[in-house]
């Protein structure tokens, strides 16, 4: 299908982009890589009068280590995340996550900032952002502010971003010795989106789980932390029996989605299976 008519705007700076968002309000949509916005425009589920392309703004496509954190520009593509030597050595969860997003064409154009801002519950980055306690920097008319990943995802396709704000960068922690991470998912066979995706970051000391964070996407209307599983694993040995018992609580307190591919019961079962797999894999890597 062909999108409805719109005016294309290409700001050269973040400040200019924010000004255009203020000027055009609800009539405008931000375009980064385009793999979220353009399909829904083609189906006319979105019909913005103005498309603000931030893809040419310089300075938003870098990855750099900064002490105990890594800063990733909002326009960094999934492919760049996947192949970043900095991230592979300091925060390998993100390259592992990026490697299973869509296909090569999507990874070459889609951006981390665009994916987070779109907040699709079946996207892969939101779960990883939650497990990493990522910090998302947003720029707006009043300057910049930092939003914790746990506060960022509000509901389906809705974030804590204000109407005139755009994401400029994402900060994730360096994963040190004794910490392991893993991302596993059950992809939809047609779209590649996560029917269930699980990201885990955990630390082990003395054979016991000292800290664990589990982000789950695809199961509910938004990505969430599997807090019941985290509590069940805290201070425990990460043997298969203990992990399996904890993983059974992967969908506790969650309104599990149902669709033509997976009923809510099947999706909840998959959540249990993939939480167990991700925790065991992260625990092995923590060694």
Other Cβ atoms less than 10 A from the Cβ of 232: the count is 20
pLDDT of residue 137: 98
In what side-by-side order are the strands of the sheet with 224-225? 179-187, 194-205, 208-217, 224-225
Average pLDDT for the chain: 97
Is-same-fold flag (63-173; 179-286)?
no
Convert 253-276 to b/e letters by CB count within 10 Å (16 or more is b): ebebbeeeebeeeebbbbbbbbbb
* Domain residue spans of the chain: 7-53, 63-173, 179-286
Architecture of domain 63-173: 2-Layer Sandwich (3.30)
- Which tokens in the block code for residue 70? 């890594």
Is the domain defined by 7-53 classed in CATH 3.30.43.10? Answer: yes
220 Cβ partners below 8 Å, 6+ apart?
Answer: 121, 254, 255, 256, 257
205 three-class SS:
strand
Read off the DSSP letter of residue 4. Answer: P
pLDDT of residue 74: 98
pLDDT of residue 232: 98
Residues 227, 45: Cα–Cα separation, whole Å: 34
82 Cβ partners below 8 Å, 6+ apart?
Answer: 95, 98, 99, 107
Query: Smallest Cα–Cα separation from 287: which of 215, 182, 159?
Result: 182
Residues 68, 77: Cα–Cα separation, whole Å: 23
Give pLDDT tens digits for 244-282: 999 999 999 999 999 999 999 999 999 999 999 999 999
Is the pTM for the entire model greater than 0.95? yes
Give pLDDT tens digits for 84-106: 999 999 999 999 999 999 999 99
- Which tokens in the block code for residue 238? 């990460």
Q: What is the DSSP string of 61-83?
A: S-EEEETTEEEEETT-BHHHHHH
CATH class as words, domain 179-286:
alpha beta
Q: For residue 246, what are the CA distances in angstroms to 2, 209, 236?
A: 48, 12, 10
Residue 222 has pLDDT above 90, yes or no: yes
pLDDT of residue 1: 78
205 Cβ partners below 8 Å, 6+ apart?
Answer: 178
Residues 155, 121: Cα–Cα separation, whole Å: 8
Mean pLDDT of 112-133: 98
Q: What is the DSSP string of 41-57?
A: HHTTS---SEEEE-TT-
pLDDT of residue 158: 97
Query: Smallest Cα–Cα separation from 217: which of 130, 114, 91?
Result: 130
pLDDT of residue 35: 87
224 Cβ partners below 8 Å, 6+ apart?
Answer: 130, 153, 215, 216, 254
Give pLDDT tens digits for 223-235: 999 999 999 999 9
């Amino acid at each position: 299908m062909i999108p409805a008519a719109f005016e294309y705007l290409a700001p050269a700076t973040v400040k200019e982009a924010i000004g255009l968002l203020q000027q055009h309000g609800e009539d405008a949509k931000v375009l980064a890589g385009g793999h979220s916005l353009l399909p829904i425009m083609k189906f006319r589920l979105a019909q913005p009068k103005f498309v603000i392309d931030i893809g040419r703004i310089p300075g938003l496509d870098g990855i750099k280590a900064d002490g105990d954190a890594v800063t990733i520009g909002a326009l960094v593509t999934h492919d760049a995340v996947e192949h970043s030597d900095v991230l592979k050595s300091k925060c390998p969860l993100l390259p592992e996550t990026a490697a299973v997003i869509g296909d090569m064409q999507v990874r070459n154009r889609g951006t981390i900032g665009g994916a987070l801002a779109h907040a699709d519950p079946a996207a892969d980055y939101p779960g990883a952002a939650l497990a990493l306690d990522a910090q998302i920097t947003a720029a707006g008319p009043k300057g910049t502010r930092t939003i914790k990943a746990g506060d960022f995802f509000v509901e389906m396709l809705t974030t804590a971003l204000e109407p005139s704000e755009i994401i400029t960068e994402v900060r994730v922690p360096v994963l040190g010795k004794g910490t392991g991470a893993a991302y596993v998912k059950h992809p939809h066979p047609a779209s590649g989106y996560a029917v269930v995706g699980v990201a885990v970051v955990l630390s082990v000391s003395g054979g016991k789980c000292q800290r664990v964070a589990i982000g789950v996407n695809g199961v509910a209307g938004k990505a969430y932390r599997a807090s019941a599983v985290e509590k069940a694993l805290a201070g425990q040995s990460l043997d298969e029996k203990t992990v399996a018992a904890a993983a059974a609580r992967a969908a506790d307190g969650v309104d599990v989605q149902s669709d033509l591919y997976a009923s809510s019961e099947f999706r909840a079962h998959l959540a249990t299976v993939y939480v167990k797999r991700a925790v065991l894999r992260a625990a092995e890597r923590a060694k």
